[in-house]
Structure 1
């Protein structure tokens, strides 16, 4: 029988890429509050250390801020090495770092396409590949890939983003199949419109913002903290039978 202690992350270590802003920062705080040691990454070393210290002061948990380009495998391997050296283990990997470039297909240049695909799809592949050997040795791991509702439905001017997020859902399923025997689960979380830095360009455009609200049955943008319950569940012992899933949290958008 499960109890609330199954949701406790004390003694576990979580690594959140892009964990210094938006949803990633909210996830990092939630894991620390649930008892985990937390490592957050950014391309900016000062920013990574600043937010790691902020989380430590807020929660009392051990934290680590790492500067890394998650599209560079050598740097990704170094990131995993820093985490395991600091904490002795790596239990939870959240592939959260992402980017979006909005353009019609006929105006979409190769450089923008490659940037989105490399950041949103290749980087989670590299991070999971680097983290999995440590998880296999531990006989425990939780990989949570942050996809999007746009991995399941489409919008105009999001060709690269939709493709990358759809691909990430499929990659998650392959991870789940390959690593299940090692007590490693892999799941994808697919947020809808949440009020984050990434969506400010839409929220600040009255016409675009209203168009989004018109497609949301709940008639509002999501709050980042509304994802944290699911994120703690997927990182915990309570979710041990859940793997290969893509969970959509979108205010009802994809129900229409």
Structure 2
């Protein structure tokens, strides 16, 4: 199939993890993919790769203009750039709090701001924010990350309301534990990784490609009447708690 044929898709955080998986999956479905990341370009990236710090508004504006100038349009934006963090309120410095919010929340707002101009002009588009299960519910010693991802939920809903009239759909994905470079510190603690994975009803961690498959649906015309939604891709983690051991 070629569900994204003739579409131009921009993916932030495209150097690794969920962002890279989205870039590859979109390219398989016919999209012209532009990857943006502060990290180095991965080998055999399936499209154009450009360096970007999502905290730099001027750079975002310039790159979005260059992308539209080169391809003539912009159809899909995936905001996958993000960082992990740990710490309670009393254990988190103001500087670290601000850094997490700047990258995980404000960065998504800024890239959306400059992607919206061509989408409004063409009266179509799909924006996908990568949130987290910890935007749907909290967890201990993770306050800055929890708050930033909770903000992604409201950013998604607000944008869906503001731009739906122009046929621009805005949705979010809330992954559970996904085995990516960002979660390497979880995998390094094998006992904790096993415990965390067991809290997902499928009794395992997810893979970036499993998130990318849902992002593909939201990016495609198959999701033409889906907007303002936060979709959990979490192996059943947010369904609730299991008290008896699995059989």
Q: TM-score, normalised by structure 1?
A: 0.90
Q: Paired residue for 1:55?
A: 45
Tell me which residue corresponds to 1:71.
55
Runs (4+) of structure 1 exceeding 2 A deviation are none
SS of 2:50's equivalent?
strand
**Pairing of 1:103-182 with structure 2 (within 5 A):** 103-182=87-166
C-alpha separation in 2, matches of 1:235 and 1:197: 24
Alignment counterpart, residue 185 of structure 2, candidates 201, 204, 217: 201
Match of residue 192 from structure 1: 176
Looking at structure 2, the residues matched to 109 and 133 of structure 1 have their Cα atoms a distance apart, in angstroms, of: 36
Q: CA RMSD in A?
A: 1.3
Distance 2:120 2:209 in 1: 31
Contact 2:198 2:204 in 1 (8 A): no
Partner residue, 1:224:
208
Using the alignment, how far apart are the partners of 2:187 and 2:8 within structure 1? 34
Aligned twin of 1:60: none
Q: Matched residues in 2 for 1:168 and 1:76: separation?
A: 19
CA contact (8 A) 1:32 1:55 kept: no
1:38 maps to 33
- Structure 1: any 5+ residue segments left out of the alignment? 57-62
Displacement of 1:104: 2.8
Q: Secondary structure at the match of 1:105?
A: coil
**TM-score, normalization by structure 2:** 0.94
Q: How far does the alpha carbon of each residue in 1:62-94 deviate from its partner, in whole angstroms, 9 at most, with x for none?
A: x21111111111011012012112211110000
Report SS of the residue matched to 2:34: strand
Aligned counterparts of 1:171 and 1:153: Cα–Cα separation in 2: 16
- Extract unaligned runs of 5+ from structure 2: 241-247
